[in-house]
Amino acid sequence: MDVAWAGDKKLRGNICKNHEAAEKAMLAAEKSDLYVLPEMWNTGFVTKPEDLFPRQGQTTVGAGAAGEDGAGGGTLLWMQRMADKLDAAVAGSIAVQLPDGSFRNRLYFIKPSENGQCSMVNVQWYDKHHLFTYGGEHLHYTPGGERVTVEWRGVRLRLCTCYDLRFPLWLRCRDDYDALVCVASWPTVRMHAWRVLLQARAIENQCYVLGVNRVGDDPVCHYSGGTAFVNPYGEMTTCPEDEASVLTQTIDMEHLRTFRGKFPVLKEAD
């Protein structure tokens, strides 16, 4: 399966402009089965989601919802449109507000539809489990509690978001996924940890790792990208740093099955 993803410079808070930038990058990329965008790609990282959701109950995001995200940008509809246009899955995290008023950092995985409408059949999601307390994320968002793996064109993909990458037990492969998809807003100051952790997760879980990080600035941090594709041996291919770019790579399932069969680490794990 071919995958493409971008670490774009984000126009902070400007959802429509970020849709345009992402669409341009995706259409210019090599044809792929999956396109992955960074954490909160449509706004930049939102520390206080209340600023994006000025009115209680503005959003209808929930099980199978096809409505606009709470900030009014129609991000789910845009993702569905791109999935249909490219005949591919589109993944990326956005801030959402649920009907009960709580906020989630939600990583959507949207597959092409048969009729152009979002439904529970082609929309799946993962709510970030480990909120970044150092940055105060836990003060505004509710953590998710479910491990989420999606299957797409013969590949099982485990979803996770940014800070989750530091928790190997949460991401331990129980012979239930082939690739780990991690979307992030990981700052430049901790880039060494980003690279090492991506490689560690790939090696210990005998899996491919797609680490998709943003490029740009917010009031607190600089983000230099470092979007990477890591194979099960820990070998890494990356995007240029500090540059909005797209990286396209191939998940080789035959190679993965052969490696896991010859060197059965997962079957011998504690």
| Mean pLDDT across 90-102 | 95
* Per-residue pLDDT at 66 exceeds 50: no
What ranges do the domains of the chain cover?
A: 2-268
162 carries an active-site annotation: yes
Using the structure block, give the residue that is written with the tokens 């993803």: 5
Which of 111, 118, 160, 162 is catalytic? The answer is 162
- The angle subtended at Cα 178 by Cα 239 and Cα 120, nearest 5°, is 95
39 carries an active-site annotation: yes
Three-state secondary-structure class, residue 104: strand
CATH architecture of 2-268: 4-Layer Sandwich (3.60)
Using the structure block, give the residue that is written with the tokens 């983000």: 223
pLDDT range class, residue 52, cuts 50, 70, 90:
confident
- The angle subtended at Cα 29 by Cα 24 and Cα 31, nearest 5°, is 120
155-208 pLDDT per residue, tens: 999 999 999 999 999 999 999 999 999 999 999 999 999 999 999 999 999 999
Which of 10, 39, 68, 239 is catalytic? The answer is 39
Which of 128, 137, 173, 207 is catalytic? The answer is 128
Contacts of 231 (CB under 8 A, 6+ apart): 202, 208
Cβ density class 109-125: b for 16+ within 10 Å, e for less? bbbbbeeeebeeebbbb
